[in-house]
Chains A and B, each alone.
Chain A
């Protein structure tokens, strides 16, 4: 028949539902294989790990500001980043003040991850992180630009009025009475400002903090290339980008970091290091292969169909 499509034309017009099903099946099947895929951490992730684990950069027991600006909409990447970050902070007894500027849902989402990591620690008979003693919630600030500017200018007054209920008490107290923030009044008093974000809040912080404090960012893949720009100019000291960044961090936590000309950074071997990052990493590989194959098939079919004509 004259109008019958050739194989090359058919290959250029695969039904979208076939592609959707293929993607879903490939991702699901890959998830059932528990494989620790090898990684070769990039320099941005290595620098982040050094910043978080090296005692000179972040002394054990000190306080950091942790700005959590993600919700379940980026759980795939941000939850893995937050979990890896919290595991490191808790193992090093680093206190943290938690705040959010991106979304009203973000504070509770962050608290849920803290609860999950605490349960993991409880199951291993490790000390659970206590609100007030080890961390405080500063809450949600709807205006990211104004809040970041105020934090840079005067942290204490920027978050003044925020309260937290200590364990065993029914009365919320001012967060600056807590052991977490008792020695912090300006942003320069913390060794590192960390932002886990599913949006552009890392850019807002870079603009407003203006190098007052070492800044580390854990961003989604969408924000990755732009954030690398700031990493190269030294405005961000360490970056983990997307799922690849999570897998690299987990790998560094397991194996430690050895770099020429720099002091060795310890590992956390023997602990739960491989988490969400490694659980999804194989599936990411197979899905990316599907994407590459789909694009190659579309192009080969186009060229072949043209030649035939």
Chain B
């Protein structure tokens, strides 16, 4: 059980790790925690250069160690067992602690990822604000970007708040300005543009295949034939027609039925395509495992100086 992050199966009584909501006590504790956190940040800023690599390496190692322990340590009998009914003992206690900590660590990673994703938006704003301030080349486009961003964030938040206050059903009934704004910007524009952007690849893929898909080597010929069979097998009308033709030669003959398009494509899929992709996947998996170990043990440089 981890009392300090509200992960106990039932909410525990008030203790030093928590405080009632809406009271000055919780705000004071939150404020002190933040001050302590920013104090740590100040200490890191003042840290000597030679400590930088060990500090970041320690954070990476500790983060990775948790999941390694989860994998290697014996599993608890059932993590759903009420706390007071759980068997006692060091191994059981640690395994229950690890099981209880998984959602905490997951939340931790979700929150941290959300903060880090904000970095992308921050960089975008920074670059485009600078471009506007310095009146650099094509700066009006940066204004378009910033205005669109502010409008979307404003209407998104406004609509969300209205739905929280009134309830979603009432908003869908009344359609206030916030709903119009969010719907037009999100559904009417953002979603449509996203779909359009990704669909452009269809044109490029056709043009590239026409120009580059030439039978100049054994490999290219095999690739072309496999792609052709795969594409034919994606056309239901072709499959039904071909298979119908083969069936007319002998529907009950197992040998003849091997020549239906679905059988041929199925044979290629099961005995050639799948093991080929599986081999690629094994290779990627081994690479990811090696990379994971190198990162965890700080054998890989994570960028920066």
Contact of A108 with B186 at beta-carbon distance under 8 Å, contacts A73-B195, A299-B214 already known: yes
Specify the main secondary structure of chain B where it touches its partner. helix
Interface string of A73-94 (1 = CB under 8 A from B): 1111000000000000000000
Q: Is the CB of B167 within 8 A of A170?
A: yes
Q: Quick one: closest A residue to B198, CB to CB?
A: A73
Q: Whole-angstrom distance from the CB of B4 to the nearest CB of chain A?
A: 15
Chain B interfacial residues counted at CB < 8 A: 65
Q: Is the CB of B203 within 8 A of A20?
A: yes
Q: Is the CB of B235 within 8 A of A150?
A: no
In the complex, A258 has a CB within 8 A of chain B: no
In the complex, B298 has a CB within 8 A of chain A: no
Chain A hits for B105, CB < 8 A: 146, 150
Contact residues of A between 70 and 126, Cβ < 8 Å to B: 71-76, 105, 108-109, 112
Contact of A284 with B187 at beta-carbon distance under 8 Å, contacts A16-B207, A153-B102, A225-B277 already known: no
Contact of A105 with B191 at beta-carbon distance under 8 Å, contacts A40-B240, A158-B103 already known: yes
Specify the main secondary structure of chain A where it touches its partner. helix
Give CA–CA (A108, B187) in the complex, Å: 9
Q: Quick one: closest B residue to A165, CB to CB?
A: B167
Interface string of A252-293 (1 = CB under 8 A from B): 000000000000000000000000000001001101111110
In the complex, A192 has a CB within 8 A of chain B: no
In the complex, B281 has a CB within 8 A of chain A: yes
Q: Is the CB of B274 within 8 A of A147?
A: no
Q: Which of A38, A71, A225, A242 contacts B240 (CB 8 A)?
A: A38
Q: Whole-angstrom distance from the CB of A2 to the nearest CB of chain B?
A: 25
Count class of interface residues, chain A:
35 or more
Contact of A73 with B79 at beta-carbon distance under 8 Å, contacts A149-B106, A225-B277 already known: no
Residue ranges of B at the interface with A (Cβ–Cβ < 8 Å): 7, 67, 79-80, 99-100, 102-103, 105-110, 112-114, 117, 163-169, 186-187, 190-192, 194-195, 197-199, 202-203, 206-207, 209-211, 213-215, 224, 228, 231, 234-240, 243, 262, 266, 269-270, 273-274, 277-278, 281
